[in-house]
Amino acid sequence: MKLLIVESPSKAKTIAKYLDGAYEVRASVGHVRDLPKSNKKALDIEGGFIPHYEISAGKEKIIADIKSLAKKSNEVILATDPDREGEAIAWHIKEVCGLKHAKRVAFHEITKEAIIEALKHPRDIDENLKEAQEARRVLDRLVGYDLSGIIWKKVRYGLSAGRVQSPALRIVMEREREIRAFVPVTYYVIAGEFSTVGRMKESKSYTLLLECEEQPKKKTEADRIVKEGRSGTWEVISLESTEVSRSPRAPFTTSTLQQTASSRLGYSPSRTMGIAQKLYEKGLITYMRTDSTTLSGQAIAEISTVIEKSFGKDLLQVRQYKTKSKNAQEAHEAIRPTHALSRSGGNTDDEKRLYSLIWERTVSSQMKDAKLKRSKVTANIQSKSIPDFSVTGSVVMYPGWLLVDQDARGDDVTLPDLKKGDQLNLKTLQAIEKATEPPNRYSEAGLIKELEKRGIGRPSTYASILSTIEARGYVDKINKSLYPTDTGEVVISFLEDNLPSYISDTFTADMEDKLDLIADGKATYLKTLKDFYGPFLKDVKSKEKLAKATNMGEAPDDLLCPLCKSHMVIKLARNGKFYSCSKYPTCTGARKIDGSIMEGPKKLGRECPKCNKGELMERDGRYGKFIACSNYPKCKYIEQDEELRKANSTGVSCNKCKDGYMEERKGRFGVFYSCSNYPDCKHIIKTRPTGNRCKWKKEDGTICGELMMEGTKTIPERCSDKLCPNHNPHKLDTEKTSKK
């Protein structure tokens, strides 16, 4: 028996279909092991940055299955993705499963021809690629762990920083500062509506919109141009026509695919990559993590056939594009359809739309230039005492590659047939006051383009960089634009002020270059990490004596503390910025960021029943009002507001402590139900309890007795205990059927 191992179950299914039973194909379902969360357990820094991996949760059964099949196999092939991460996954599978004689193959498209050809050339795992990926993983952990640690101490607990996410956030914040510092300048746009005068009675009259080629900054000058223009006689003073060529764009890389899918289809980078992954696994497109624009000779030949048959031989122009990336290293070919003869592909609407985008870009890249005629009409009054007015039109004369990529065509603007000296009848002329606008905020596509331009990250990381800074709450996406949040601003400002070199473009790009050197065998894992970590750790530790970064700036002079009338400062809370008295903690006066008074904790006149020392106080939290001890955090007694408790109570008694009732609560992951005696009783269920108890009889004859909770339309209720067979009645019914 022969065994072939890939990462994805759908990829395994596609490959098994092509191999006709010659191999047993199994999927590892991604990584089989990873670094643990604790940095102390994860890395032996003194021993030489040795990583200590742990088997990922839920992968034990998969590993056991691979081990069992490997023992029965006379050949084991590791066919994970053709990049550094794929090389690392292959190595992890080999190590965990003890596959001493396993070989590695790589292919950039899941087609029968590519797979069979790859199987003819098995090789050993590339240790350089594996070490480059391992160095990236360890480097990210070292930077993230230590930068996050100093931010926890000096800004707020629970925040984070990273080697590539922080430079991305810095770029967003730099643009925001440009916008804040921008001073608008007033200017005037002067436009006129004209009608052409037909040379003959039967000639058709056209309406032309001409705009002044100068935009005066002073109203007096704008008024003068309008006044003289209205009283003058207008005529055409020049006509220019030029033929220009538009060349097709290169085939997609990861970056350009994400940018184009964002602008044309409205897909986020993570959504684009998820759809592309499915297309790749189904064998419809080549590997989607690449910074190369190269097409193979076989692909060009097939594309040429498609163009000749569908559009004509005269539209074919074979081209090879140079890769712009300095160290293109992920895959060796652009993203393209595996079979260009198939114009459509995919099952879902998303898959079909993205496949069509890739197909059009790939095929059009091998077609002739489009030819456009650009015309410009310039007019003025006969005295020429005002600036020229003009309009430009563009018409496609020869479509070329635009026949395929029609979304890139744009609208034709046809100008009337005029001659120099022809008179124009002025219908309206007016000046519109405008102001210069600040630069636009980055969209997701725009930020990816900027990251690629600065050498930050790699094709496989662009989508995760964006999803990380959004998930961390450092940026908000509003109408496709990225806005830094208050938290994001505080974090990046602290890093810029205290550790600027580690979030700079040069540091991030230089580290990528060093990882490339490891991949090429020109640098070693240990020396690269050692040279970086010593100075880095010294710099981070030197910041531990800094005062805590609590203030974000000064409040307006007229905004005083509502309690003591002192000056106020801006501070950051979990829910955003607020104004705090500068004499805090002596004075606890505070205002919301809109200037309204923020009410502090309300004393209830009751002693804490837990510590018998503190006084109970009503506070406002993220999820509503609650009552807590004044000695928090030494005493962590907490209870809900009585009115809120009554509204949220289900009336179902807790079956753990017997005294409390199950109440609806809200947490960071949504609604859940817990005992009213929390924190003394920490019984929690995820779905609303029905009030019934589970009647499932255990093997020893006892009844389960756990709370039943709401189920689905097909299962009205189910047991809240995950270990009870009645927790998943569907599975139970399936098991009964299979036994029968």
- Annotated catalytic residues are 287
Q: Tell me the C-alpha distance between 105 and 98, whole Å.
A: 18
> Residue 195 — φ and ψ, nearest 5°?
-115, 140
607/612 Cα distance (integer angstroms): 6
Tokens of residue 291, six digits: 């910074």
44 in Cβ contact with 529 (< 8 Å): no
CA distance 163 to 149: 14
Q: Which of 245, 244, 268 is nearest to 258 (CA)?
A: 268
- Which residues 6+ apart lie within 8 Å of 490 measured at CB? 155, 156, 549, 552, 572
Cα 663 from Cα 672, distance rounded (Å): 8
- How many CA atoms does the CB half-sphere of 460 hold within 13 Å? 14
Q: Which residues pair with 129 in a beta bridge?
A: none
Sequence-distant (≥ 6) Cβ neighbours of residue 127 within 8 angstroms: none
**Cα 38 from Cα 661, distance rounded (Å):** 37
User: What order do you get walking across the sheet with 707-710 strand by strand?
Assistant: 689-693, 707-710, 717-719
Joined together, the tokens standing for residue 496 give 């810029």
Q: Report the alpha-carbon distance of residue 129 to residue 517 in Å, rounded.
A: 10
CA atoms of 693 and 707, how far apart (whole Å): 5
Place of tokens 């058709």: 204
Query: What does the block give as tokens for 40?
Result: 């102390």
| DSSP assignment string, 590-640 | EEETTSPBPP-PEEEEEE-TTTSSSEEEEEEETTEEEEEETTTTTS--EEE
Strands 689-693 and 684-685: unpaired
Sheet holding 638-640, edge to edge: 602-607, 615-621, 624-629, 638-640
Q: What is the longest distance spanned by two Cα atoms in the chain? A: 108
Please give the torsion angle defined by the CA atoms of residues 173, 177, 178 and 179, in that order, rounded to the nearest 10 degrees. 100
Helix ranges (H only) for 155-196 are 165-181
Radius of gyration (C-alpha) of the chain in whole angstroms = 34
Q: Residue 471 and residue 169: Cα distance in Å, rounded?
A: 12
Phi and psi dihedrals of 277, rounded to 5?
Answer: -60, -40
Percent helix / strand / coil, the chain, rounded to 5: 35, 25, 40
Cα angle 244-249-253, degrees, rounded to a multiple of 5: 165
Beta-strand ranges (E) seen in 247-388 are: 370-381
Phi first, then psi: what are they for 428, rounded to 5°? -145, 150
Amino acid sitting at position 645: R
Q: Which residue has the tokens 């624009």?
A: 293
Residue 377, Cβ neighbours under 10 Å: how many? 25
